[in-house]
Structure 1
């Protein structure tokens, strides 16, 4: 599993100066300085160096970095690109290729069976670029994640997590509130004999996140992709 201080970032591996140059990135090499500050200022747990919790937290952060930012599956170090599948709330599983076709991690995590008219965020109408832009805009200091509890260690890692940020930018035509936005969930990572992630299951309520993002007043600048009436109703998990 990824360990702290390995790779040029405090919490993520495989970000050395050489790896930043040689890796194929979706939109240039990532920089986590800002979100690391948010994480350190807002986390509720400080895990001992070398503890299982710290190792799991760093694995999750490194895995997320690779999934979001790396363009070439051959550059992945935390997962087996040929076997990997990602499931959300016990529904459809996505292969790595399908994650790319859907438009990346935000669009996978925010999948819904709600009718388009009821969607405050419609992943079917968003690309990788537009989804990344939307959440970078609403969370200019980043969207941090911490591990709250680890229930089991590898090869099957089960844990509880917290994601948070401050709504300091507009979202789908709603004005920023400046408020803390957070949600909680659980996940299960399955590792193979080479300690590579081959299966991930996330369980959380998407509405817990999205409801806070549509609390601000309407600005009349909703995304051109947003269906008429979207954002006017609370987006329940579906």
Structure 2
């Protein structure tokens, strides 16, 4: 069952692809997903289809350098996080996905990080990978709406904060527009990164009594 359930990331085998740092290896992330997921979607379900598509999108945005190598987005693709400004694809490739995802939070100054430094910072803290799963697809394409969960453990240092081994989780939702040829033209993400960031930086979350 595990082999059938392993995420499928498409568009990785073309030898002409220009990779940022070589073809990525997702074996750790896939193992984390299979061991830590909370949902078991049927292989022919819309949730499984959306899950594989989003994982392919993440792979392209994070690891590919040329727009002509992308298959999951349109040339005029844009993304918005928590009501902040929209980023186009060239900005996302230049700034890096972590810096775009965390661009609108007071606990992380994305303007002080580069694509390379942010990737090193989080990859170094999440040495076991970063699991991601679709929880529920609320509406199918062309207006795609779904909820998701992100999880990992802090197994490496984050700046000067030593690893705690603590489990970190993020929950969020996404609203996306898809074209008739199954490409994303616009994505709006909604999630609260504060709990994860406070733990990574050694702070105690403020509890509301």
Under a length normalisation based on structure 2, what TM-score does the superposition of the two structures give? 0.91
Q: What's the counterpart of residue 160 of structure 2?
A: 173
CA distance in 1, matches of 2:7, 2:84: 34
1:48 aligned residue = 42
Aligned mate of 2:130, from 127, 138, 143: 143
Deviation of the 1:233 alpha carbon: 7.9
Note the residue ranges of structure 2 that are not aligned, 5 or more in a row.
none
Could you tell me how far 1:46 is from its partner in structure 2? Answer: 1.3
Structure 1 residue runs of 4+, over 4 Å off? 232-235
3-state secondary structure, aligned to 1:83: strand
Contact 2:65 2:93 in 1 (8 A): no
Correspondence for 1:68: 62
**Could you give the per-residue CA deviations for residues 172-204 of structure 1, whole angstroms, max 9, x where no partner exists?**
211111011111000012101222100000000
How do 1:5-154 residues align onto structure 2 when only pairs under 5 Å count? 10-16=7-13, 19=14, 21-80=15-74, 82-101=75-94, 103-112=95-104, 114=106, 119=107, 121-154=108-141
Distance 2:26 2:93 in 1: 22
Aligned residue pairs: how many? 203
Residues 30-88 of structure 1 show CA distances to partners (whole Å, capped at 9, x for unaligned) of: 110111001100000111011100001111100111011110000000111x2200000
Within 5 A, what are the aligned runs for 1:198-237? 198-215=185-202
Distance in 2 separating the partners of 1:11 and 1:45: 16
User: C-alpha separation between the residues in 1 aligned to 2:33 and 2:105?
Assistant: 32
* CA offsets 1:147-195 (integer angstroms, 9 cap, x no match): 0111001111101100000100011211111011111000012101222
- Aligned-residue CA RMSD (Å): 1.9
C-alpha distance in 1 between matches for 2:104 and 2:72:
27
The aligned residue for residue 219 of structure 1 is: none
Q: 1:113 offset after TM fit, Å?
A: 5.9
Per residue, is there more strand in 1 or in 2?
2
SS of residue paired to 2:76: coil
Secondary structure of 2:188 counterpart? strand
* Counterparts in 2 of 1:234 and 1:92: CA distance versus 1, 3 Å: farther
Which residue is equivalent to 1:223?
A: none
TM-score (norm 1): 0.81
For the residues of structure 2 that align with 1:88 and 1:42, how far apart are their CA atoms? 26
